[in-house]
Structure 1
């Protein structure tokens, strides 16, 4: 019988799946649940060495003999320190040593508890990966432990070899129960490299055949011609859809650029059939992250996640199975080389039906109207910078010309430097550069315009509703006066004096007619000099309009309507 401790089960199951089958055990009691469970499993070879200093070097000898990774395990306290010399040696020899140190609960640290010191950083500077595991108390902590253990074992031979350390807590080793009959097959995360055997790539390509593939294209620079060709060949051979937003700058024949709205329009009852079999993620963040998480978790359908172009384990959907440490273009070309048959378009056409049913908001005067007018009137090949907060959400309510390139500081999603980035971009080009920005973000970064490199080709649409409307979105309208005091930083400030003092042509808009006329000027390439249009609206009205529009994407009615059309048009997908 194995321990009933879910953390212990995760460690052992992943040791077995990653091929860590030899374990050198130092005496003690804190690691008893792990050791007893290992003793019950015939797949592991166990060695008992009393002196921890000798035990860890003994493990190095086993590694030198076999070339395979070996684990060494000890109780809490100074035992962990005694492994130090061998860990340093393993680091400089490049030997895959797995150091498993049991510990007491972190809450007890520095509380005069016996056999306890800060173990998690004890090998700092001489370890390829350091993992501090928590107790498994719920689904979130279990997912976290699974991810961290996988990360540790993947680092044993990632761009070189060397030791890794996992520090795991055991609250009460003497009360642990051992009634688990079989080891669970927990999730193993794999890494695939470009020089892996062709059979590995063939296996992945074969798995994709006949499955529904959702490609999630994050924020990226405009796609170069070589990558575009590789992606188009891939989508000809596999049945897939590409979910994107404006920051993806991805314009393929199977791209759904309204992912933010399409995902909001789906429920389990209406669109379970559109759930993917595999999700392939690439590039940076995207504005529909929350909507996609909610959709994928609600379908109840199993799926895998493959992540491209990185060596980091990034698992936002908690289903990551494979990290492809190759350039994105290499992945698509390799899959095409291994593809055995042409794919269909059913999956994309189903999503296209959903996309086609979405209508742009028709609203009274306010910031949503102003943003829509700008997006619709942008000239071809325009460079559009979008500030964080509500502007990035509002821009995605409208369709833009595929030639428009979009940028936003979405790495951390802060409001810092949104205008400064646009000013810097404009300083390096002679083409018009457009910026959509809210009032708080503008005033926060207003020194961006106090710049000797300020370009005459900068065009700014500033949305001034006297505070941060995004802070009002999740809360009731009745709280607006209270929120404006501190939460949304209510104010009565205009940009007019400041921008005129630094050489801008300034236009104000307080009505629909003034707004439309000002945006005509803003988007006219023949106009010279930097221009700023400041649109004045009422924050509460703007928030109400946005909430109303999103609510009008009525999930039940919309879903039934689209589903009936899909069943008629694509019966094979809904068998």
Structure 2
């Protein structure tokens, strides 16, 4: 039995018990596998285990407001993490957190207004900083709102935080034990929760939020040579402010996190499926009923898997697709310890020599081919042209090994920036 096994069993039992009285009462069933011998009970006492509770706006007399007033004085360093949200939800959260003394982290999927007080770029900080540098950034309480969080480094950082207390705020009241420390599920909209949160007496540390801001502000976004990361930054940072950006999974959503999107850009993503399928179909369908320019950032395998989505009668000129073609699943080049010698590369990355050109042009797309910085900058005008009468597909050709090297250089430069700051 491992610690992860124990956490998983604890989580399943808590989730089952939370459902006993969730919007009605009913039985739950928990399977407990037993090993022989079955008749000897040698433990003198049962261990203390984590218990999850659910709070809502009424809570049978023990109101959420009373719970907050009782609990919040225990915490000084409060960290809010907003995951994937719609633009309307994000604006509501931003309005509640404006001027507050909590540290607030978000990603591009969070759709928070660029002018808000949210901390961005924290993934680079968590990469660059040493373990001892991060001690002052560890929270007493973390509150999550919204859906999925992309940053693996944030998840690992919080899972390593001793005695962490985690509250998850969700309108459906369902648990999300993202950091293996969930104790309270709050069934409420984030806006309703934060209105009550800031009415409660609390000794929050404004210095803690300031430390997150200042630490992330120390790290610039290093320049790179022509590569996948270079192309993504040039395209996304040039988007018109009223655009909708659709992100495919794998490399696309991670590379987007390295960019500062223009104010007003709305982000959509099939996050949670963690697969390559459906990204093109979702973007085509969304653009068909949208009055805005819709841009899809998608990898080559994801595009080719779903390219029949272009074969319908509802593709409009407001659709712009950017295909990152580096000849396969290049994200595997970034995984440590994976030997790409021999046939491994072909089978692991599904390497290929295909192009989207013929299919895109046969379906009425204006096709743009990019192979270097000059052709990329020249193609941006056509990609961003709002007066275009046909949909546009821009195919960015890069080399997978160069892409991996440029990403390593990018993060190495960030780490050097942090070291220089400490000096």
Q: TM-score normalized by structure 2?
A: 0.91
Distance 1:154 1:256 in 2: 33
Show the 5 A alignment for 1:35-54.
Answer: none
1:429 equivalent to 2:290? Answer yes
Which residue number corresponds to residue 355 of structure 2? 494
8 Å contact kept, 1:267–1:298: no
Which residue number corresponds to residue 139 of structure 1? 3
Which residue number corresponds to residue 58 of structure 2? 195
Per-residue deviation, 1:334: 2.1
Bigger Rg, structure 1 or 2: 1
Q: TM-score normalized by structure 1?
A: 0.68
Which residue number corresponds to residue 83 of structure 2? 218
8 Å contact kept, 1:234–1:333: no
8 Å contact kept, 1:368–1:542: yes
Which residue number corresponds to residue 294 of structure 1? 156
Which residue number corresponds to residue 167 of structure 2? 306
Change (3 A) 1:379 1:168: same
Matched position secondary structure for 2:348 = coil
> Which segments of 5 or more consecutive residues in structure 2 lack a partner in the other structure?
none
Distance 1:341 1:188 in 2: 24
Show the 5 A alignment for 1:149-168.
Answer: 149-168=13-32
Distance 1:382 1:352 in 2: 27
Which residue number corresponds to residue 561 of structure 1? 421
1:367 equivalent to 2:228? Answer yes
Distance 1:268 1:240 in 2: 22
Matched position secondary structure for 2:58 = coil
The CA RMSD over aligned residues, in Å, is 2.4
Distance 1:169 1:405 in 2: 47
Equivalent residue for 1:285, pick from 126, 148, 152: 148
Distance 1:230 1:285 in 2: 16
Which residue number corresponds to residue 258 of structure 2? 397
Per-residue deviation, 1:378: 0.8
Which residue number corresponds to residue 246 of structure 2? 385
Change (3 A) 1:165 1:376: closer
> Which segments of 5 or more consecutive residues in structure 1 lack a partner in the other structure?
1-136, 565-575
Which residue number corresponds to residue 505 of structure 1? 366
**1:10-65: CA deviation from partner (whole Å, max 9, x where unpaired):** xxxxxxxxxxxxxxxxxxxxxxxxxxxxxxxxxxxxxxxxxxxxxxxxxxxxxxxx
Distance 2:240 2:22 in 1: 47
Which residue number corresponds to residue 139 of structure 2? 276
Per-residue deviation, 1:387: 1.4
Count residues in correspondence. 419
1:208 equivalent to 2:72? Answer yes
Distance 1:496 1:297 in 2: 45
Matched position secondary structure for 2:49 = coil
8 Å contact kept, 1:243–1:257: yes
1:266 equivalent to 2:129? Answer yes
Equivalent residue for 1:325, pick from 172, 187, 190: 187
Deviates more, 1:191-200 or 1:421-430: 191-200
**1:59-92: CA deviation from partner (whole Å, max 9, x where unpaired):** xxxxxxxxxxxxxxxxxxxxxxxxxxxxxxxxxx
Change (3 A) 1:515 1:231: closer
8 Å contact kept, 1:509–1:536: yes
Distance 1:244 1:229 in 2: 14
**1:407-455: CA deviation from partner (whole Å, max 9, x where unpaired):** 1111212111111111111111232111111111111111011110001
Per-residue deviation, 1:213: 1.2
8 Å contact kept, 1:262–1:355: yes
Distance 2:284 2:94 in 1: 33
8 Å contact kept, 2:94–2:112: no
Distance 1:513 1:205 in 2: 59
1:456 equivalent to 2:321? Answer no
**1:438-476: CA deviation from partner (whole Å, max 9, x where unpaired):** 111111111011110001111111111111101222156
Equivalent residue for 2:332, pick from 471, 475, 478: 471
Which residue number corresponds to residue 272 of structure 2? 411
Change (3 A) 1:416 1:542: same
8 Å contact kept, 1:387–1:438: yes
8 Å contact kept, 2:300–2:323: yes
Distance 2:257 2:175 in 1: 29
Matched position secondary structure for 2:14 = helix
8 Å contact kept, 1:391–1:436: yes
Change (3 A) 1:293 1:233: closer
Deviates more, 1:266-275 or 1:525-534: 525-534
Distance 2:38 2:393 in 1: 71
Matched position secondary structure for 1:276 = coil
Matched position secondary structure for 2:408 = helix
Distance 2:134 2:296 in 1: 36
Matched position secondary structure for 1:406 = strand
Which residue number corresponds to residue 42 of structure 2? 178
Matched position secondary structure for 1:463 = strand
8 Å contact kept, 1:191–1:323: yes
Matched position secondary structure for 1:506 = strand
Change (3 A) 1:176 1:490: same
Distance 2:159 2:202 in 1: 31
